[in-house]
Chain A
Amino acid sequence: MSETLLFVGNPNSGKTTLFNYFTGSRYKTVNYPGATVDFALAEWKTPTQSHWVLDTPGIVSIVPQSEDEEITRRALENIVPFVPNATQKMPALLIGVVDAMQLSRHLVLIRQLQQCGYAMVLAVTMTDVAHKHGRKIDFLTLSELLNMPVIPIEGRTGKGIDKLKQACCIRLAQKGSLPQPCPSHIEASTLKEQFEWAEKMVGLVSSNGYEKISGFDIDAWLLHPVFGPVGFMVTMGLFFTCIFAVASPAMAGIDSGFTWGIASLSAFLPAVWWADLLTKGILTGVGSVFVFVPQIALLFFLLGVMEGSGYLARGAMLADRPLSAIGLNGRSFVPLLSGCACAIPAMMAARTLPGKKEKLLTLFMIPLMTCSARLPVYGLLLSLLIGFHHPVQIAIGMTGIYVSSIILASSVTAIVGRMLRVAPAPGFQIELPRWHWPVLRHVLTHTVTQTFSFIKKAGPVIVCVGVLLWVLSTFPSPTHSFLHTFGHVLSPLLSPMGLDWRVGVALILAFAAREVFVSAIALMFASESTHLASLVNTLHHAVLEGTTQPLFTPASIIGLIVFFMISMQCASTLAIAKKEMGGWKLPLAMTVSYIVGAYIAAVGVVQAVQFWMG
């Protein structure tokens, strides 16, 4: 019979690192039914039995504050939805995780759990750091005082894990009484008592208090009133440069690899409908998912490094003032930062936000951030506008688009924030962890799991939309398809934007993923290749159908850029938004208003530019 062990602890207690050591980084992330919170589940085999080990989101108290804290609480009360074939409702054993340097704060949660009657084993992490700072802890006395096994663990090496496993085995063999339901509210006086108790425990077992840690205080610079924000800007600049400089060539490589592969495959396959479906529908769809993998992986890697070092929490603190001005919270910083690469992981990151209002507003803001799928589109449009042999001007144009997107997204968020009638989170609090060198192995494990999670979540939607669009563009016949008909129907809508139905078809195709616009434009204007130079050349000579006027004028190009800045043109973002917002109403309202808003703004800009240029 298998039993379930839960890792429980405060945020930043080293819980996930310990979980990695305990499971040998062999775990899978599972989606909790009904919610979107991922949690890590692993199987732990002892010589006689096999058990489930579950990592839960960090909590400061058993009274939850955000959606992910709520999950921990639910796991504590009923593990059946979390593990396959659970035989018991309650977890058999909790592994409480506390930081040796913050014993008096972290022991409070342990006290609360113990008072509920849970069987526990306590793991004290970062004992090496404590040792370095001259802090000695008498673990034997602590174990006697708490009446539970206490195992010291070294944070960097994981030394002590075997003892922890032994202690778990012994504790599992002893049968205790079942835990009581946890209270849903804790009185201030009770909390004070618990803190005083913890302080007393620490006084009894620890050699010294919180003496000033000597040495260079890097936070004095990074959180400096002037140098702090400047350093933050520089870090963000480096972050994006790194993502785009490294990921763009990889994206281009994967894209041309898939194009080449599909071309060679279709040359080899017979000219029948299923071969066409396979190459143009399914494989193209799969290709447009994999194009994002390098930079999604890079994003998770860099976020992992920043999180592991402790800068992410400081970034949230530095971003709180500007974000609070538009109704958000410093904690929205990480989702918005991810949103600059891709909206899907960004929306998944928004679930750690306390407060329904901040969460919803962040979800509304994410689709307006300049995600990487827009970059190939902007690249093409700017090359058309400026000329592709002016890289400096294109870079300036791109920066302009970024800055205007941020201004636009902030204004929209501020407006939506005034309209939303939901309770905001009680203030902004974040713990600033001590600086660490990130452990490469853990960052890599995190990167791989998160990237796979992205492929699993976004992949099916993108492929399905790809297949659907293939059907629409192939039947009844490729030259007179449903999509062509639809494009002609849209024609009256497109002429105020200075465009014709062919661009309309490309805009519809871009609903699979925005960057599809580039290849769709190439297809519609029968350019021999999607290579930028030849495509730009073809498009320069394109005329509005039935006239001799050029199609791509400064007005219509700027209009398209504005359209892409605002429009919610990504089926997988919609799917994820539906999950995260818990229903179709809000995400559909968001999608429709962003598309309509994008259209109105684009028409306005086109008309204004046309008027201004005579």
Chain B
Amino acid sequence: MSVIALHTHKKTLNTLSTGCSAVVSGFQGDQCLCSRLQELGLIEGSTICLAYRLSFGGPLAVKVKGATLAIRSEDAACVLVQ
């Protein structure tokens, strides 16, 4: 039960499928990267939509607050979503 709860809580931005919307619920990992992502508008509580995803683990594009941001797939793993 608790394992499942932990698992659902740890859903990250890079696991979203294309076209899906979610709400940013927190950050994990590199501090510097997380603060940069927050400056760009990926703030806790904001609604985001995964718009495009390149092949071979390339960057993905996220729509947030009217902007489209391209970020690396592995960097997107720092963003927790619900």
Contact = CB atoms under 8 A, between A and B. Distances in A.
Interface of A: 60-61, 63, 65, 101-105, 108, 186, 188, 191-192, 195-196, 199, 210, 219-220, 223-226, 228-229, 313-314, 316-318, 320-321, 324, 330, 426-432
B65 A431 contact: no
B59 A321 contact: yes
Interface residues of B, number: 37
Contact of A105 (B66, B71, B72): B66
A317 B71 CA distance: 8
B67 A102 contact: yes
A455 to B, nearest CB: 34
Given A188-B35, A225-B54, A317 B59 contact: yes
A195 B54 contact: no
B40 A195 contact: no
A330 B59 contact: yes
Please provide the 10 A-B residue pairs with the shortest distance between their CB atoms, ordered closest to farther.
A321-B58, A427-B75, A225-B55, A426-B33, A223-B52, A317-B70, A432-B68, A426-B32, A61-B39, A195-B43
A102 B41 CA distance: 10
A430 B39 contact: no
Contacts of A104: 41, 65-66
Interface in B36-72: 36-41, 43-46, 51-59, 61, 63-72
Given A192-B44, A432-B70, A317 B65 contact: no
Contacts of A65: 36
Nearest to A222: B52
Contacts of B38: 188, 191-192
Contacts of B57: 321
A529 B6 CA distance: 78
Contact of A223 (B33, B35, B54): B54
A427 B56 CA distance: 17
B66 A429 contact: no
A219 B52 contact: yes
Given A219-B51, A223-B52, A320-B58, A428 B66 contact: no
B32 to A, nearest CB: 4
A102 B65 contact: yes
Nearest to B43: A195
A297 B17 CA distance: 43
- Which label, helix, strand, loop or mixed, suits the secondary structure of the A interface? helix
19 contacts: A104-B66, A105-B67, A108-B39, A188-B34, A188-B35, A188-B38, A210-B66, A219-B61, A220-B52, A225-B54, A228-B52, A228-B54, A426-B30, A428-B72, A429-B40, A429-B70, A429-B75, A431-B69, A432-B61
Contacts of A316: 70
Contacts of A105: 40-41, 64-67
Contacts of B59: 317, 320-321, 330, 428
Nearest to A211: B66
A320 B72 contact: yes
Nearest to A59: B39
A94 to B, nearest CB: 19
A313 B23 CA distance: 25
Given A188-B38, A321-B56, A427 B67 contact: no
A317 to B, nearest CB: 4
Contacts of A196: 43, 45
A101 B72 contact: no
Nearest to B37: A429
Contacts of A228: 52, 54-55
